[in-house]
Amino acid sequence: MSAVTSSESVTISSVLNDAPPLSSSQGARVWQVTLSNPSGNAGDGTVTALTFTKGGSDTAGNWANAIRSADVFDGATHLGSGIIAAGTISFSGLNSTVLDGGSKTLSLRLSLTNAPGLLADNSHFQFVLASGNITMAGNSITNASINSDATQNKIDVAASRLVFSTPPPVSVEVNSNFAATVQAQDANGNIDTDSVASVTISRATGTGAVSGGGPLSLTNGACTFSTLQYNTREIFTIQAIASGLTTATSGNIAAAIKLWANVGTTWATS
């Protein structure tokens, strides 16, 4: 048993979210292993089950959260879909014959979850196939534990939009500071920690003027505008803008003037 050199993907897009079961052209090929059946005693061998486990250098977190589908192939032939747990992918009911004195190369393909915000940008998958995690009928294969290249299979989050991850408050005082935090995210809500886009906050609706809106550059995919102000008493919205990314627009914000009376403080919001 051996790992096929350079059979991993360099990167896996965070929006590669094909539904199970995968075809041989869907998902990403993340590893190939070659099973060798030495000539002799029992003739042909048949792989009936195998389990991939998480390598020590894996940084992708809980596989059950990160992976949507995992499937194993013999060439273009689909052999089975895996049961995905926190640190294992298990295949059973397989029927792949390795001829006496021959070898067979199997491919593991997977797609990533489209659940919101579960993928860590630049994290890596590493797979291990241990000698005890292959079940054979007939002649056994030559067993030795192998692992995939830990520098490959990197999750790549490429932002397509800006999002107010911490939106502005629903009410603010005219000409007083308020804050909002913006993130660069993909379509599934994963943060693109490589993004250093220059972001500007401006008025989207209303008649007044926004100050304190930058531009600010993202750090680890996010930035906080802590000295935003609005100068007009009215209902307004703000927007976060960066080149190449879909604009984020806030909900309605009520800008009010603080009025002082003998009994305390009251607010006028309209």
**pLDDT the model gives residue 268:** 46
- The β-bridge relationship of strands 235-242 and 222-230 is unpaired
Q: Which of 10-14, 16-20, 126-130, 265-269 has the lowest mean pLDDT?
A: 265-269
Q: Is 239 contained in some domain?
A: yes
Q: Is 266 contained in some domain?
A: no
Same domain, 116 and 30: yes
Same domain, 149 and 192: no
Residue in this structure with the two tokens 């499937």, named with its chain if needed: 71
Report the mean per-residue pLDDT for the chain.
91
- Which residues sit opposite 237 in a β-bridge? 205
Last residue of a domain, one of 107, 134, 156: 156
The letter for the amino acid at 186 is: D
Same domain, 237 and 168: yes
SS3 171: strand
State the CATH number of the domain containing residue 128.
2.60.40
- The β-bridge relationship of strands 11-13 and 154-156 is parallel
Contact between 201 and 226 (Cβ < 8 Å): no
Q: Which of 45-54, 231-240, 247-256, 257-266 has the lowest mean pLDDT?
A: 257-266
Residue in this structure with the two tokens 């309209």, named with its chain if needed: 270
pLDDT band (50, 70, 90) for residue 136: confident
The letter for the amino acid at 95 is: N
**pLDDT the model gives residue 47:** 87
Q: Return the DSSP state at 49.
A: E
Same domain, 69 and 6: yes
Whether the per-residue pLDDT at 264 is higher than 60: the answer is no
Q: Return the DSSP state at 191.
A: B
Same domain, 123 and 48: yes
Q: Is 264 contained in some domain?
A: no
Q: Is 265 contained in some domain?
A: no
Q: Is 269 contained in some domain?
A: no
**pLDDT the model gives residue 54:** 97
Query: Using one digit for the tens of pLDDT, what is the confidence trace for 101-117?
Result: 778 899 999 999 999 99
Span 47-62, average pLDDT = 95
Q: List all residues 6 or more positions away from 5 whose beta carbon is below 8 Å from its beta carbon.
A: none
How far is the C-alpha of 152 from the C-alpha of 36, rounded, in Å?
A: 25
**pLDDT the model gives residue 139:** 66
Same domain, 139 and 191: no
Overall pTM > 0.85: yes
Same domain, 79 and 129: yes
Q: Which of 127-131, 196-200, 216-220 has the lowest mean pLDDT?
A: 127-131
* % residues pLDDT > 70 (the chain): 92
Same domain, 147 and 195: no
Same domain, 233 and 103: no
Most confident range, picked from 39-43, 101-105, 139-143, 155-159:
155-159
Domain count, the chain: 2
Say how many residues make up the chain: 270
Whether the per-residue pLDDT at 133 is higher than 70: the answer is yes
Q: Residue 23: which of 78, 70, 64 has the closest Cα?
A: 78
Note down the domain range covering 227.
161-259
Same domain, 15 and 146: yes
State the CATH number of the domain containing residue 190.
2.60.40.10
Q: How far is CA 151 from the centre of its chain?
A: 17
The letter for the amino acid at 187 is: A
Same domain, 188 and 168: yes
Strands (E), 63-126: 67-74, 77-81, 83-84, 88-91, 96-98, 103-112
How far is the C-alpha of 65 from the C-alpha of 119, rounded, in Å?
A: 8
Last residue of a domain, one of 102, 134, 156: 156
> What sign results for the dihedral spanned by CA atoms 206, 209, 211, 216?
positive
> What sign results for the dihedral spanned by CA atoms 75, 81, 84, 89?
negative
Same domain, 141 and 11: yes
Last residue of a domain, one of 99, 122, 156: 156
